[in-house]
Amino acid sequence: MWFSFTGLYHALQDAEVASEFYFPSTQPDAEKDYNKQCFFYRLKKPVKTFLSVWRLARTLNANHSKVVVFSQGIFSALLVFLLKRHVEVVAWAHEIDNYVARSGLLRGLNYLISDRYMGLRTSTVLVGSDQLFAKAQKQYPRKRVVNSCLPLSGDFYTALKTSTPSEPVAQVADAASPVRILFFGGITAYKGLHHLDEAIRRLPEGTLDIKIIGRGDLKTLAPELYARAQGKKDVVWVNRFASAEEVIEELNKTDMMFAMYDSVTATSLIDIANSTGVPVLASELAFFKTKIVDGVNGFIVNRDSLYSFLNEYKQISCPTRNQVMEHFVTSGVNNQCVDALLNNGVVRR
């Protein structure tokens, strides 16, 4: 959510929409971006965070009539509690249900309790997918629900706009070359690496060249991928957070991004990949079907058919990088996001 929040800042700036942003930071005095409008936020220091949120609420009460809270959790709920009644509250909901299953026990309960309170005070709920839109309408029947896609995340927006793109490696063409697959993000059960784990067990060595960038329990979730990474056979695992610049560099070397999720609410990963000309390999979830045109900017594949797809990949007619990028420019995710917010009166010029 943090990266999407910074992305929204850039999207509204480009569209010349008047708005003020206040960003959470562990070192607000050191921040140079975002007009230096930052407040201290760190869960390990709850007292200092509480005082910072309280001061932020005083500023908002004095200077604003509408506040959009682009987060969830106990301190977001606290901020809403501290806002006076003359301030209209709009909340962006990233999770609607299955809190514990998707986020773990403590974080899930944190989201659940805070959401229930914020729902009492919120006039409008923003969501980032058709699936969440339907759920939010059921959960908040008396609230106004607005469906607005997530903007391109702020770090990738900045990196793509300010850097000189390197020449991408040509997509795989000959039978001797392995199919290059990139996964990046937190390694959690619902993101589907176990499906790739099952597929690589059945494929001959050298068929795939997989790069995994992200932290998590890969050994438990995908033991074959972990073993091959340890043995340096077909899999490379970068077990740390990577910057946008690093990910973009890897995208320029890959044939597709892996997103065979078992569940999803909303994500900007598809737009990140497509902005560099990389198609996305995704499961048949409803959200992916709204973002991906099969064979144009990615591939929609049944999770049980992943092995067959990868085994036959070189016989498939695949889009070129230019075709994928043209689709991304045409779809204009940032423009879609801003238009939805403007058309529904959430912001105005």
pLDDT tens track of the chain, all 349 residues?
Answer: 455 678 888 888 888 888 888 988 888 887 776 666 888 989 899 999 999 999 999 999 999 999 999 877 888 899 999 999 999 999 887 777 777 776 678 877 878 888 888 888 888 999 888 888 888 898 888 899 999 887 777 777 777 776 655 556 666 656 678 999 999 999 999 999 999 999 999 999 999 999 999 999 999 999 999 999 999 999 999 999 888 889 999 999 999 999 999 988 778 889 889 988 999 999 999 889 988 999 999 999 999 999 999 999 988 888 888 899 888 877 667 778 888 999 999 988 7
Structure tokens at 35: 């007009």
347 located within any domain: no
In sequence order, what DSSP letters do the residues of 239-266 get, joined into one string? -S---HHHHHHHHTT-SEEEE--S--S-
Residues 6 or more apart in contact with residue 324 via CB below 8 angstroms: 274, 277, 278, 279, 296, 297
Do residue 136 and residue 163 come from a single domain?
no
Do residue 187 and residue 95 come from a single domain?
no
Do residue 322 and residue 192 come from a single domain?
yes
Which residue spans within 21-143 are E strands per DSSP?
23-25, 38-40, 66-69, 88-92, 124-127
341 located within any domain: no
Do residue 300 and residue 201 come from a single domain?
yes
CA 329 to chain centre: 19
Backbone φ and ψ for 86, nearest 5 degrees, come out as -75, -10
Contact (CB, 8 A) for 265 and 287? yes
348 located within any domain: no
Cβ atoms within 10 Å, residue 349:
9
pTM (2 decimals)? 0.68
Which CATH number is 35's domain given? 3.40.50
344 located within any domain: no
Tokens 């007009």 correspond to: 35
Which CATH number is 197's domain given? 3.40.50.2000
Cβ atoms within 10 Å, residue 92:
24
Structure tokens at 270: 């598809």
Tokens 């805070």 correspond to: 114
DSSP H helices in 140-215: 154-162, 193-202
Do residue 177 and residue 142 come from a single domain?
no
Do residue 197 and residue 327 come from a single domain?
yes
Calculate helix-pair angle for 333-343, 2-14, nearest 10 degrees.
80
Of 92, 120, 147, the position where a domain reaches its end is 147
Tokens 């990233």 correspond to: 94
Do residue 134 and residue 163 come from a single domain?
no
Do residue 200 and residue 324 come from a single domain?
yes
Of 126, 147, 168, the position where a domain reaches its end is 147
Do residue 72 and residue 204 come from a single domain?
no
- Domain extent, residue 48, equals 2-147
Do residue 114 and residue 169 come from a single domain?
no
Number of folded domains that form the chain: 2
